[in-house]
Amino acid sequence: MAKPTFTLRTPKEEESIIYLRYRFKAATLTYPIDEKIETRYWNKKLKRADPAFQLPKLIHLNKRLDQITKRVEAYLEECKIKELIPSKVGLKNYLDKKAKNKVEVHLFSAYFKQYNDLRKASRKYSASTIKIDNYSLNKVLEYEDEKGKLLFDDIDVNFLYSFMELNSHLKKNTISRIISCIVSVIIQAVEDGLTENKKFRSKHFTAPQEKISNIYYNEIELQELYFCEPPSRLRKAKDAFVAGCYLGLRYTDLKRISQDINKYLYKDEDGDQFISLRICKRGPLVDIPVNTVVQDIINKHNGFPKIPNNQNFNVNIKRICKNAGFNSKHLREHKVDGEIVRVWHEKWEISGTHTMRRSFCTNAYLSGMPSLEIMKFSGHSSESSFLRYIAISSKENAKRSAKNPFFNRKFEEE
């Protein structure tokens, strides 16, 4: 029985598409493979990428050609079992079907795309989560362009170090988010039975994070903001920002309630007002007390003040806070191209929509409200992720702790 072979479409050019060739008794199938190679790396005798060049992309390519060979053999075996005559058309249809069957695809990036498509179609995940998924996939594709195609078994510590080196220009926390996304994808692939690779579970398979000095607005500063008088075009945005600091909602949820607050506002039997909504549309249902500041803002605008798109709202928040004189200096450090860069910012420069949730969580925490109680409002699923939102300084923490009975214990003689 003939064996499948591979050939180049344009062997005299610098780069060529690879073809599968299989000879039947009366015909030959020439089938294009979704792979290209620089012709100088092709070994005519072996009809593979030349193993003398120990390049990751060439090793991956040969693994891909080996799998296609196995698919041809599987087709011939299937014909034998079913007592069918192998044919050019039959093999082509079989290979087409396998190529379209995303579940069988052995390339990590192809499965990654399927994973993202399914998450988006499920409508269970927020737009920001889908955005991170797609960004992570693009970084994996960029890596493959540089290093060669990734198989499931390639996701190991060596890949991690190589990936971090290639993306050293990114901030540590950005790389960490991408690696977390990659781990989620490979875990799903294991559950789907596509790989037994568990090398990613190594204790060394972690990307370092850097702690960011985040800012928040304390209640005295929020009072100053509430009574300040920015230009008329910014007054709605100013009130929306202050209200957001007392509600702890994400930008997307705050924008939802700004479109029709009456859909989410209710009073209980005691006359207390609450906002009730399912966070991120499909997340848990939360009920948030409406304090007098938020109530005054709703009454002032005959509803919740309208909020612009995220980009414009961020710009408006910066203008409002600059206008109000919040220009204290804050140091931020991050890595750029492997070098630590230290930049001082004025407070208004690093204020934005995310500052609302940080202010809510931090002020509630400083007031003595238990963490788990605040998490019910903010929607954080773990205390560790919640505590990253707490933006208090060492001095503020000490001052808060000083009221604890532990620091006020006295010994008395009997």
Verify that 304 and 379 share a domain, yes or no. Answer: yes
Verify that 291 and 358 share a domain, yes or no. Answer: yes
Verify that 78 and 118 share a domain, yes or no. Answer: no
Tell me how far CA of residue 301 lies from CA of 222, 296, 298, 401, 408, in angstroms: 18, 9, 5, 39, 47
Rounded to 5 degrees, what are φ and ψ at 300?
A: -60, -40
Q: Is the pLDDT of residue 126 over 60?
A: yes
Domain membership flag for residue 255: yes
Domain boundary among 100, 128, 143: 100
Verify that 133 and 234 share a domain, yes or no. Answer: no
Identify the H or E element spanning 40.
Answer: none
Verify that 83 and 131 share a domain, yes or no. Answer: no
* pLDDT at residue 211, as a whole number: 65
For a pLDDT cut of 70, what percent of the chain falls above it? 92
The residues, any chain, with a CB within 8 Å of residue 400's CB and separated by 6 or more, are 366, 368, 392
Task: Specify the CATH number for the domain of residue 135.
Answer: 1.10.150
Mean pLDDT of 265-287: 84
Q: Is the pLDDT of residue 116 over 80?
A: yes
Verify that 350 and 230 share a domain, yes or no. Answer: yes
Domain boundary among 201, 233, 260: 201
Structural domain boundaries enclosing 168: 108-201
The residues, any chain, with a CB within 8 Å of residue 346's CB and separated by 6 or more, are 322, 326, 327, 328, 329, 330
* pLDDT at residue 349, as a whole number: 92
Domain membership flag for residue 296: yes
Domain membership flag for residue 331: yes
Mean pLDDT of 1-9: 88
Domain membership flag for residue 260: yes
Domain membership flag for residue 211: no
What angle separates helix 108-122 from helix 127-147, to the nearest 10 degrees?
170
Domain membership flag for residue 213: no
Task: Specify the CATH number for the domain of residue 241.
Answer: 1.10.443.10
Domain membership flag for residue 208: no
Domain boundary among 100, 116, 147: 100
pLDDT band at 282 (very low <50, low <70, confident <90, very high): low
Cα gap 110→386, rounded to integer Å: 34
* pLDDT at residue 284, as a whole number: 79
Q: How many Cα neighbours within 13 Å face the side chain of 99?
A: 14
How many CB atoms are located within 10 Å of the residue 282 CB? Answer: 11
Instruction: Render pLDDT for 286-319 as a digit per residue (tens, 0 to 9).
Output: 899 999 999 999 999 999 999 999 899 999 999 9
Domain membership flag for residue 120: yes
Verify that 251 and 339 share a domain, yes or no. Answer: yes
Split into its structural domains, the chain has a count of 3
Supply the mean pLDDT for the chain.
86
Verify that 55 and 195 share a domain, yes or no. Answer: no
* pLDDT at residue 341, as a whole number: 75
How far is C-alpha 366 from the geometric centre of its chain's CA atoms?
30
Mean pLDDT of 41-67: 86
What angle separates helix 157-166 from helix 172-191, to the nearest 10 degrees?
140
